[in-house]
Amino acid sequence: MYNISFYKTRRGEYPVKDFIEELDKKSQAKIYRYMVLLQEQGPDLPRPYTDHVKGKIRELRVNVSAGNVRIFYFFFLRNNIILLHAFKKKTMALPRQEIEKAERNMLDFISRYEKEEFR
């Protein structure tokens, strides 16, 4: 079993959590079901649920009534999954700026963890 955590910005915001909360209840429920699958199966959760994006970053792929939702995450230390960034996918390719946001969030998380800001 893996632990899922929402990335928290320095301002105290939770980008993924805030994104999910803006969706309708049915979409939220489906996303949380997918998150449970990710929590249970970790890196063994196959496509079409997840896919590799770039480097350590992966995506949780959820199709809801609001559209195609993508949640970027990465595995941290042994059994931790950090949810970094979420957006509604509107094109075939993943937008570069969305990947860059996830990368910045990941690097910020790692840097702050190393400085023991989370303990």
Question: Domains of the chain, with CATH numbers?
Answer: 3-114 (3.30.2310.20)
pLDDT value, residue 90 = 85
Q: Is the dihedral of CA 72, 43, 66, 32 positive or negative?
A: negative
pLDDT value, residue 7 = 96
DSSP string, 83-99: EEEEEEE-SSSPPHHHH
Nearest 10 degrees: Cα torsion 36, 59, 4, 112: -170
Tokens of 107: 């690097």
List, for the chain, all residue ranges whose pLDDT scores fall below the cut of 50.
none
In terms of DSSP bridges, do strands 3-6 and 67-76 run parallel, antiparallel, or are they unpaired?
A: unpaired
pLDDT value, residue 118 = 65
